[in-house]
Structure 1
């Protein structure tokens, strides 16, 4: 059974969705850069070890990331899951976990990398919006795509209403992607993710909510 370490900075709603889904993994630890992150209590309630490493005591991003990597590696994880970890990761850190670290982003990448994705999708007149699970690389929000889920953008949508609908899909999609990794269904070939189709419905990763 593969071991997973989850990184959070806040309430960790995607983390909670993954825990509820019970993918066939061992949750080795939940780590936060903020001691008051609400998700730490959620992890403890599930019996998962927690740790806090504040970035404020370090002189550089690279120094913090080096210490964070040492902390993570103490749990010998197979997969690192970013679940609202609000830090831009250094190139060395990302390279260290290449092919073993995933993230979820609230847009249909490669569209709308970065912040304020829902407002930007509305402003651009998009008819579809959604979320993307991807492997993390050195280029922000540009890693190989594992899966996507789409929702329609309605005429009366606000960033808040659109965000809420996308979040429902995030909570469905992220646990599914973790399960795929745990069951060795994913492979990287020429910078693209392949999902083993004998066990996965090829239409399952992109759908509209009911």
Structure 2
């Protein structure tokens, strides 16, 4: 069983994160030869308007929303770590065998990882060790224009306490052409994301 956590923070400039296209890739692959031993059982978002929630609800998959600002407003004196503990509680209650972060842009603290004791993987649009953190596609594109790099990539990695530094499970190089716009690169990267998120989930199910 998969529990997929999808969301978008205000610092993220990737509009597609709210569309849930990587979640849809998992939904489409579940129960097929591409992902025969898994199904999505729960979807959690950090934003109520994330379209991934609708995608899940259309297939009668339970969903929930846990927004950081809302949580802190409802719990005066609570900390970011308390929020992560609440997210972890929701994860544990859903009883997943694997947690997939697909567009979840909040950095999860040690508190989350200490509570959740099942494999947790993250999709990141960069090669291992390059462009950790937010706005990886934009930063890679700017580096390409400066002549610093000739390609970028996408990976799915295990989630550990260091951001985007967990063991890579699936890695793909993505070329950048001299005439590519940022939108061209984003489109190419998203296509690869849809493939490797399924590949990585199959490795662990």
TM-score by length of 1: 0.80
Which structure is higher in RCO with an 8 Å CA cutoff and minimum separation 6? 2
What SS does the aligned partner of 2:204 have?
helix
Query: Do residues 169 (structure 1) and 192 (structure 2) align?
Result: yes
Which residue number in structure 2 is paired with residue 26 of structure 1? 39
In the superposition, relative to structure 1, how do residues 46 and 26 fare at CA in structure 2: closer, same or farther (>3 Å)?
A: same
Which residue number in structure 2 is paired with residue 87 of structure 1? 106
Q: State whether residues 119 and 158 of structure 1, in contact with CA within 8 Å, keep that contact through their aligned partners in structure 2.
A: no
Which residue number in structure 2 is paired with residue 195 of structure 1? none
- Aligned CA RMSD, in angstroms, stands at 1.5
TM-score by length of 2: 0.82
Which residue number in structure 2 is paired with residue 109 of structure 1? 128
Give how far 1:164 is off: 0.9
Which residue number in structure 2 is paired with residue 208 of structure 1? none
Matches within 5 A, 1:121-136: 121-124=140-143, 125=147, 126-136=149-159
TM-superposition CA deviations, 1:97-137 (whole Å, max 9, x none) = 36610001001121111222223223333222110100001
Matches within 5 A, 1:69-88: 69-88=88-107
Which residue number in structure 2 is paired with residue 192 of structure 1? none
1:63 is aligned, of 71, 75, 82, to 82
1:4 is aligned, of 2, 7, 26, to 2
- Separation of aligned partners in 2, 1:146 and 1:97: 19
The structure in which a higher percent of residues are strand is 1
What SS does the aligned partner of 1:6 have?
strand
- Separation of aligned partners in 2, 1:154 and 1:70: 44
Q: Runs of 5+ in structure 2 lacking a partner? A: 8-17, 73-77
How many aligned residue pairs are there? Answer: 180
- Separation of aligned partners in 2, 1:122 and 1:11: 22
Which residue number in structure 2 is paired with residue 54 of structure 1? 67
What SS does the aligned partner of 1:25 have?
coil
The structure in which a higher percent of residues are helix is 2
